[in-house]
Amino acid sequence: MSGAPLNERSALELAHLLQRRELNAEHLLRSCLERIHLREPEVQAWTHLAEEKALRHARELDRGAVRGLMHGLPIGVKDLFDTMDMPTCYGSPIYAGHRPAADAASVAMCIGAGAIAVGKTVTTEFATFKPGKTRNPHRLTHTPGGSSSGSAAAVADAMVPLAFGTQTAASIIRPAAFCGIVGYKPSFGNVARAGVKSLSETLDTVGCFGRTVQDVGLFAAAMTGDDRLLQIERASAPHFAVCRTHEWHYAGQDTQRAMQDAAAGLSSGGARVSDFPLPEIFSRLVQAQSEIMAFEAARSLAHERLNHLPAISPALAGILKAGIEIPMEQHQNNLKLANSARIAIDGCFDRFDAIIAPSTIGEAPEGLEHTGDPVFCRMWTLLGLPCVHVPFTTGSTGLPVGLQVIGRYGADEQTLQAAHWLQQTMRR
């Protein structure tokens, strides 16, 4: 057993200890709760803590048989996911005190695999752009990103080893980057979305946060029942394609330096590294993603828009107004463009194993009034590809910086393998 405090250890190490009965679930949970009590007044990652319920659950697990992959692991549940025994407010005053009748499917899967839900983590308003109360644990005056702000901050600050996230534009990759942890957005549709508040049927994806790539593989295996996601050791070095994207002019010096360092480090570590310029069709995808998101949000949030408009922030109200004005023909053309781009990018993966690309413009920006620019994630989300943010360096002011590893649609096992290889190589 490593010498680090329990709340700071990787989920994979903790899972092995718990399943071998070398660690009690209650002991681990109390270590996490101690950290929450210490840091929550400053970080503010949680909307609801179910401390007594979680402790009862931990004691039950300690008395009974091992339940599954996540036996005894404390987790945070983004407040976009329905939970039958905790309030679910979706980041909006419209749903204050709301109590769903059932857990979201992904939450139920993880609890069935032995996870302990510690509480609900802060989300931005309906997973859009109005910030919640959460602060970046590395520097409290800076944003943790969004929309999965509370989940990313809770994992980064060692409050829990794992937490749920969702991504419609950049809501897993960006907060993972700003908080310096691993964020995993699976292939679109891999994780059931039942019981997760819908924003965009074309884009919404359920994912997770952890401290290592192996941690998020464990979490995803429990969410999906796909045990292949546990097997992420590669026998040989991957072939990485360096993709600066058509949005490269937005990249700050810290992101540019991270791309250079990664290409050099991966090459010296034995990987093949090639440049991959995107075809012209991909230059239109960021705009298409923005329009698809607005069009579908205006319809997914029709009840709230039509019945509770004064309780919606001006920023979101503006997005919904713009979305309802987009003609159906324009929306269908955007969907056709996305489908053509998916076909084009799939063929490119015949030439390499994974893409490395920017996750964010740079370090987490100062201020809590915004969550950062999602520009480097919109395209990959629209394409539905598996994405893993891997932190491995710091920027000019000492805040975390990393890159995302992007894989072929449906090749999540291979994408996690490549991300794990990158994380191990860049740590040396």
Q: Give the tens place of pLDDT for each residue, 160-183.
A: 999 999 999 999 999 999 999 999
Give 376-427 pLDDT, tens digit per residue. Answer: 999 999 999 999 999 999 999 999 999 999 999 999 999 999 999 999 999 8
Query: pLDDT tens-digit profile of 99-150?
Result: 999 999 999 999 999 999 999 999 999 999 999 999 999 999 999 999 999 9
Q: How far apart are CA 99 and CA 79, in angstroms?
A: 12
pLDDT at residue 428, as a whole number: 76
Choosing from 151, 171, 187, 200, the catalytic residue is 171
Catalytic status, residue 171: yes
Contact between 356 and 259 under an 8 Å Cβ cutoff? The reply is yes
Q: Which domains does the chain have, with CATH numbers?
A: 6-230 (3.90.1300.10)
Angle CA(349)–CA(353)–CA(356) in degrees, nearest 5? 95
Asked if 155 and 179 count as a contact pair (C-beta separation under 8 A), the reply is yes
Q: Enumerate residues 6+ apart whose C-beta is below 8 A from 93.
A: 311
Annotation marks residue 147 as catalytic? yes
Banded model confidence at residue 2, pLDDT cuts 50, 70, 90: low
Start-end of H helices in 44-87? 51-63
Comparing CA positions, the residue from 388, 384, 427 lying closest to residue 181 is 388
Catalytic residue among 31, 92, 106, 147: 147
Considering Cα of 112, then 116, then 119, then 125, what sign does the dihedral take? Answer: negative
Catalytic residue among 10, 78, 185, 200: 78
> What is the per-residue DSSP string for 144-180?
--SSSHHHHHHHHTTS-SEEEEEESSSTTHHHHHHHT
Among candidate residues 54, 120, 130, 128, the one with its CA nearest the CA of residue 89: 120
pLDDT band at 235 (very low <50, low <70, confident <90, very high): confident
Nearest to 162 by CA among 226, 114, 231: 114
Residue 269 is classified by DSSP as: T
- Whether 151 is a known active-site residue: answer no
